Amino acid sequence: MKVVRAHRPMRIGRSGAVASNHPAATQAGFDVLRAGGNAIDAAVAVSLAIGVVEPHMSGLGGDGFFHCFLSGKSEGIVYNGSGFAPAGHVPEGITSLPLRGPRSVSVPGAISALGVMHAQHGTLPWSELGVPAIEAAKDGFGVTHVYQRFASKYADEIRPYPISTKLYLREGDAPTIGEFIVQPQLAMSLEMLAKDGAESFYRGGLAEQIVVDMHDAGVHITVDELARFNAEVQRPIAVNYRGFEVRQTPPNSTGFVFLQALKLVEAKLPSDCSFLSAGIAHTLIEAKKLAFVERERYAGDPHESSIPVEVMLDEHRLRGLAECIDQKKSAVLPVRPSAGDGNTTYFCIVDRWGNAVSAIQSLNTCFGSGVTLERTGILLNNRMSCWHLDAGHTNRLVAGRRVRHTMNAPMVLKDGKVWAVFGTPGADDQVQSNLQVAVGLIDFDMDPQSVVEAPRWSSSQEGQEANWPHAGDDALTIERTYPEDARSELANRGHQLVEVPYLEGPCSVACIRILENGARVAASDPRRDGWAAAY
């Protein structure tokens, strides 16, 4: 494993590791592991806690995908907590989709997925795992530079919603560093959830309060729709990449796009270039472009359309597709015939027994719908903005369907054991940042902290953006610390560079690598409040 000097130390331990986008959430999972809990227990604690301390990214009102590896059986399971479109938010003759507000909310699914996952494989009592989240909601979490930056950027979009403005801003502006964000109503909801279980969110006393709260806020999700929701238990999809088994979350997640891009890279990656060379970056970018065209063709709710995963991941077909990559010229590949930030959170966990969880959860955009429920303190998602309205589109809005999700949670196995777990928030940037991490780890044997901190890029295509109206342009956003000769060569190949300062590029990766001696090496991203721990 090649070690490159990084700003942050790697966290290395024999028994367990956690990496998330906030120190308090990482600590919640770390304490569970130290108390004898397994990776699934720790995932519940991290999920609930990070929804409190990163309220702008995820929470009880959002969705999530939880990808588990169970070491005793070498088994992979995905708990799909993505909600469906409520009938009341699908009016006749709809011609546009709201980005914010009560009609942008879909049925929240993350809590159901956590509950099913814990019921099947958890070992510690559910009631204990929510304690860190409850304490953080009651006592408050301190405002960091990262929270302040997001609150400042999105203040104008929060102000129309008085409850959210009161909770997350100060006199209509971003709070100062060190102030505390206290969420007393959310603390009471978390206490009910801890006492009555995840079921109560959908079919119990808490559910009754949520539905009344939603009705008063203008959110048209009925008690029957909430009660009808159940997380789906799925098997991961996978490809072989240079002898490694790379697993991903299946549709309606777009994890298959990452797997496709990997296979395209496998066929075309230059063997005589360094990781931060123009040759490597160009190949990854061009593979990503082709895979995103595939996403538009196939990605939707697999229960409502025919999504041939076997065809999408067919090695012979992908090798033929890889021949479309011109190594000397940037291709312009719009993902639609014609023409937002995605804000999410990711975490990963490996326990002493070799169980692992790769987890991602989201409200969709920053601060979601903007609607915080008055009595329960739950900030709701705005996932309805991810639908398409074109007739015949695989992701076309229909009541009861689950929308296409940019969220994906990869995992890499070698010889039947977890070799690496990593992922990131970032909407359309997720797949391409994960691609850079995978190639850095596998092809260049980089240590996880070095690959997490390496200069990063993200590619945009016309029609690419996840949210309505699905805009996009032919741009390559790249951090200025990418080598100058690489940036110059990428421009010569036709890439339209948009340069940003180091650590202001896309995403916030969390990564755990398991070495041959069993060491858990955990890394966190300084681009947000990422933090890793191991023991």
- CA distances to 255, 285, 425, 481 from 505, rounded to whole Å, are 22, 15, 12, 10
What does the DSSP 8-state code read for residue 403? P
Q: Which two tokens stand for residue 136?
A: 């953080």
Residue 358 CB partners (closer than 8 Å, separation 6+): 66, 67, 348, 409, 410, 411, 421, 422, 423
Q: Which of 420, 416, 481 is nearest to 453 (CA)?
A: 481
Q: Is the dihedral of CA 62, 222, 90, 156 positive or negative?
A: negative
Local structure of 363: helix, strand or coil: strand
Which residue carries 């110059």 as its tokens? Answer: 488
Instruction: Tell me if residue 344 is catalytic.
Output: yes
CB of 380 closer than 8 Å to CB of 108: yes
**Which phi and psi angles does 67 have, rounded to 5°?**
-100, 115
User: Which is catalytic among the residues 165, 283, 344, 345?
Assistant: 344
Task: For residue 470, report the phi and psi dihedrals to the nearest 5 degrees.
Answer: 60, 55
CA angle 391–394–396, rounded 5-degree value: 50
Rounded to 10 deg, the angle between the 278-298 and 484-492 helix axes is 50
Q: How many other C-beta atoms lie within 10 A of the C-beta of residue 101?
A: 18
CB contact set of 323 (below 8 Å; sequence gap of 6+): none
The tokens describing 301, both together, are 């709710």
Cα(246)–Cα(263) distance, integer angstroms: 10
Quick one: which of 1, 7, 142, 37 has its CA closest to 523?
A: 7
| Angle subtended by helix axes 184-196 and 205-217, to nearest 10 | 150
Alpha-carbon torsion (404, 344, 30, 440), positive or negative: positive
C-alpha 111/C-alpha 96 separation (Å) is 29
Sequential DSSP letters for 103-142:
GG-----HHHHHHHHHHHH--S-HHHHTHHHHHHHHH-EE
Q: Which residues are part of the catalytic machinery?
A: 344
